[in-house]
Amino acid sequence: MEIRIQPVDPAKRHPKPADETKLIFGRVFSDHMFLMDWRAGQGWQEPRIVPYHDLQLDPAAMVLHYGQGIFEGMKAYRWHDGTIRLFRPEKNWERFNGSARRMCMPEIDVARQFEFVENLLRIDQDWVPHSIGSSLYVRPTMIASEAHLGVRPASEYLYYVITGPVAAYYAEGFNPVKIYVSDEFVRAVRGGVGEAKTMANYASSLYAAEYAKSRGFTQVLWLDAVERRFVEEVGTMNIFFRIHDELVTPALSGSILPGVTRDSVIQLAKHWGITVQERPIAIDEVIDAVKSGAMKEIFGTGTAAVVSPVGEISFKEESVRVQNGGVGEWSQKFYDEIIGIQYGEKEDKFGWVYRVKI
């Protein structure tokens, strides 16, 4: 399967951002996109790189009604020598296939996903920003495109990849977040789709997120759906607790998204000799540890922010401050190490960085 490439008409190129350090996340897109179709009985067809354009979908396209859709999020980083790198991209591509299986959608061979994104990055290489912290966000997506009103797996899908430059998440240094513990609304239930990067999870999180925002909080801390007691994630990030000098994070139970950043923090911590416990952690244990002073730091992890320190938690009308509302030593250390590896300023001991062939 050859990739057909149709470059954009130079007159129709998107304007490049004037200041790449001041981009709003997810608003600016590069000149090209990758597309490919799947039909039952035929498999994946017609891989192509074409100018970024509006999609044409039948109003009965199944994704628009039943939400059969998945996505991924990763970044391409420019090193100061001009080369472009991806961070553990195979993890994203394997996770994409995991999400596809859970949602009864067709998988895409990992080596081919590599090839598609590499070709797209090659044609839009000028879109990868130059300043440290900024990067080109890569968003692979798959949707059920078959026109049919009826609940069953679709027989036609569209896979596409769009990219766009994004600024460093913390242009002016870390900004610890205030989080609201939701014991009323839940994100995902064990046996549900919480561990898949599927659209429903984000739609279902909006109400609680808006509620938290209206009360002055930045993010929701999600508890398990059954007992409403065990911590799961924070916003769209995984969560870590430093209790004394051990690192605790909820075990992957099926309702938690298996983050690449989560896995990287765990591996780094172990490499540094830190004890890591992947286990259920109850919200009462969290609040008690904050009050007793045993809780040294809390932070979220994800591709967009890398590390997001938590400065305050509110649970049942009670608010407690963590690390005096500031940034903990470990949060900073994990952040610096991961950013350092991504931009080639720290040694890549684990072989996490992939050099894109341009």
Ligand X SMILES: *Cc1c(COP(=O)(O)O)cnc(C)c1O
Binding footprint of ligand X on the chain (CB under 6 A): 73, 197, 233, 236-238, 257, 259-262, 301-303
Q: State both tokens at 211.
A: 């509620």
Nearer to ligand X, 49 or 143 (CB): 143
> For 151-184, b where at least 16 C-beta lie within 10 A, e where not — what string?
eeebebbbbbbbbbbbbbbbeeebebbbbbbbee
In the bound complex, what is the minimum distance in angstroms from residue 147's beta carbon to ligand X?
Answer: 28
CB of 168 to ligand X, least distance (A): 16
Nearer Cβ to ligand X (147/252): 252
Tokens of 147: 């026109």
Which tokens is 357 given?
Answer: 């062939």
DSSP 216-273: T-SEEEEE-TTTS-BEEEETTBEEEEEETTEEEE----SSS---HHHHHHHHHHHHTT
Least distance to ligand X from the beta carbon of 237, Å?
A: 5
Rounded least distance, CB 104 to ligand X, Å: 20
Closest CA to 31 of 107, 98, 123: 123
Q: Which is nearer to ligand X, 47 or 250 (CB)?
A: 250
CB-CB contact of 154 with 144 (8 Å): yes
Nearer to ligand X, 242 or 262 (CB): 262
Phi and psi for 31 in degrees, rounded to 5? -75, -25
Q: How far is the CB of 302 from ligand X (least distance, A)?
A: 4
Alpha carbon separation from 78 to 42, 128, 146, 226 (Å, rounded): 38, 6, 38, 44
Q: How far apart are CA 20 and CA 48, in angstroms?
A: 28
Number of Cβ atoms within 10 Å of the Cβ of 57: 15
Question: Residue 44 or 71: which CB sits closer to ligand X?
Answer: 71
Per-residue HEC secondary structure of 182-217 comes to ECCCCCCCCCCCCCCCEHHHHHCCHHHHHHHHHCCC
DSSP state of 168: -
* Nearest Cα to Cα of residue 52 among 91, 82, 90, 8: 8
**Smallest distance, Å, CB 50 to ligand X?**
27
Nearer to ligand X, 49 or 209 (CB): 209
Whose Cβ is closer to ligand X: residue 44's or residue 211's? Answer: 211
Of 120, 140, 163, 148, the closest CA to residue 57 belongs to 148
Q: How far is the CB of 228 from ligand X (least distance, A)?
A: 18
Side-chain half-sphere exposure of 121, counting CA atoms within 13 A: 28
| Minimum distance from residue 103 beta carbon to ligand X (Å) | 14
Q: Which is nearer to ligand X, 197 or 296 (CB)?
A: 197
Nearer to ligand X, 303 or 323 (CB): 303
Q: Which residue has the tokens 């050859």?
A: 2
Residue 190 CB, shortest distance to ligand X, in Å, is 15
| Backbone phi, psi, residue 66, to 5° | -115, 5
71 or 211: whose CB is closer to ligand X?
71
Q: In the complex, what is the shortest distance from the CB of residue 79 to ligand X, in angstroms, rounded to a whole number? A: 21
